[in-house]
Amino acid sequence: MLRHLYIKNFTLIDQLDIDFHTGFSVITGETGAGKSIILGAIGLLLGNRADSKQIKRGEKKCTIEAHFDLSHYNFESFFISHDIDFDPEDTIIRRELTAAGKSRAFINDTPVSLQDMRTLGEQLIDIHSQHQNLLLQKDDFQLNVVDIIAQDGKVRNDYKISYQLYKTAEQRLEDLKSQLARSQENEEFMRFQFGELDGANLVEGKQEMLEQESETLSHSEEIKSAFYETGRLLSSDDVGIIYQLGQSIDYLSNVSNVYPKAQEIVQRISSAHIELKDIAADISNEVENIDFDPSRLDDINQQLDQLNTLEQKFHVSTEKELIEIRDSLASQLKSIDNSDEELESLEQDVKEKQIACEQQAKKLTALRQKAAKAIEKEMAERLVPLGIPNVRFEVSLSAKPLSADGADKVQFLFSANTSTALEPVAQVASGGEIARVMLSLKAMISGAVQLPTIIFDEIDTGVSGKIAQKMALIMQEMGNHNRQVISITHLPQIAALGSSHYKVEKKETSEGTNSNMRELTGEERVTEIAQMLSGADVSDAALQNARELLNLSVKK
């Protein structure tokens, strides 16, 4: 629950530093005193959009910080998954805004994204404002209420997985149909292109090899002449290098007996002599092998011309890319050739997954139907004491095509009179009736969802007297069992039933308008409720009525 709220330099608030309590609390104050400002500040802790204009004029920064006691709730997994220190008895959420437009969010002094703050904040506080009554017009809200009461989380998750598999299979089938339609339109041209590429006998590296061979054949005479002259210099009689090395070996061998160092040089020259004789033999063979073949050169150039033409035609620069295009065309043509089998296989897969999804949807529908009956019963029990004795409340479940949230369309139908037909609640209920319906729904939901704090912003619009008192009793009930309910109200019947009472006031100072909130003492509560009963001029009768209302709340 919310234990402490600190606000500094936010719109009309200089500084607000206040504690909150468990159970049912009320906030009162004149219209325009700043109650909406406080709600706006709390909304920033829930991840709402920030605006630098919300900073108090003349200040550079504003801060909103809330302390929560989460010791009775299961929030540890959130903190573990986000690598945030967890102190269940004092969890701190802070939002900072600067005049430069920067916004920073923190959970337990750890910087977090706004999305992470929103994810946690939505699990900590539910703010019910008057505009939330419009949710009764929305199918997803009504379905969500049914799901909460049905406690169908596991079945709903199983359905979502099954639905996703079904839609993925369906998308694969549609993609194949689209691909085949496009391919069949271009089939003749694709076969022509594939024939060109396939006929070129493409092999990776072949183009480079042909280019090298073409270069060799184009310079064959020059190459042969170079090898011939090299061979002549090595092997010619009397003047060749090999002959002269042999002579050198003979000269030095003749003196090796009288000059031993000559023998070492002889050995070294002999090694070079043997190596050069091998080289000369290789050169001689190359001279015999190198020959100019005009027909081979023409054939190579034709192949290279074909490859260059294909690369220009297909707008690529390498043979590897041509191979990729060829293989892609082959795959597409294979798909066309095997399209009937592939289509049949995918259609069967879609059918099987649709059946599996429909079976999961039926399980979900069964739980929702059971929950719908429970909702109808509980809503009637809650609305009759709230001044709608002839109420009829029905949860209509009708079939709809498989969708992300199941196969059920939910509508809340309502009638306040026996003679009036059941109609969608948002269309036929008055403002006061809608307020009572929403309060009853929230009370019912709060029993199924462990939400630490619920704030009602003038949920009592359109009601008064005993009905308001009974609404307050419902909020009291909601505040039990480690929950916290805070009601912003203009009605003394509701204000008197709060276990804690806060007042929002606006004062004019020399530095401008300032809004603040404080917790009222016992006598201050009497005066405040008396003012709510009689206006600015508090009479003795009003004070007596206020005490009676407060005494009544104590007895209850």
Sorted by where each begins, the domain ranges of the chain are 1-129+451-519, 187-337, 521-556
Query: pLDDT of 5-15, one tens digit each?
Result: 999 999 999 99
Looking at residue 503, what is its pLDDT? 95
Tokens of 390: 């002839």
Looking at residue 408, what is its pLDDT? 96
Looking at residue 131, what is its pLDDT? 62
Burial of 311 (0-12, 13-18, 19+ CB in 10 A): middle
Q: What is the DSSP letter of 69?
A: -
Tell me the HSE value of 286 on the side-chain side, using a 13 A CA sphere: 19
Q: Name the CATH code of domain 1-129+451-519 (choices 3.40.50.300, 3.40.50.720, 3.30.565.10, 3.40.930.10).
A: 3.40.50.300
Whether the pLDDT of residue 273 is over 80: the answer is yes
**pTM exceeds 0.75, yes or no:** no
Looking at residue 555, what is its pLDDT? 54
Query: pLDDT of 411-466, one tens digit each?
Result: 999 999 888 899 999 888 888 888 899 899 988 888 777 778 999 998 887 787 88
Average pLDDT of the chain is: 88
Are 528 and 495 in contact, with CB atoms under 8 Å apart?
A: yes
Query: pLDDT of 525-542, one tens digit each?
Result: 999 999 988 876 788 888
3-class secondary structure per residue, 116-128: HHHHHHHHHEEEE
Looking at residue 406, what is its pLDDT? 95
Looking at residue 134, what is its pLDDT? 63
Looking at residue 520, what is its pLDDT? 95
Render 139-175 in DSSP notation, one character per residue.
HHHHHHHHHHHHT-HHHHHHHHHHHHHHHHHHHHHHH
Residues 153-164 as b/e (b if ≥16 CB within 10 A, e otherwise) read eebbeebbebbe
Are 424 and 414 in contact, with CB atoms under 8 Å apart?
A: yes
Looking at residue 509, what is its pLDDT? 82
Q: What percent of the chain has pLDDT over 90?
A: 49
Looking at residue 114, what is its pLDDT? 93
Looking at residue 132, what is its pLDDT? 66
Task: Look at strands 103-107 and 91-98 and give their pairing.
Answer: antiparallel
Looking at residue 44, what is its pLDDT? 94
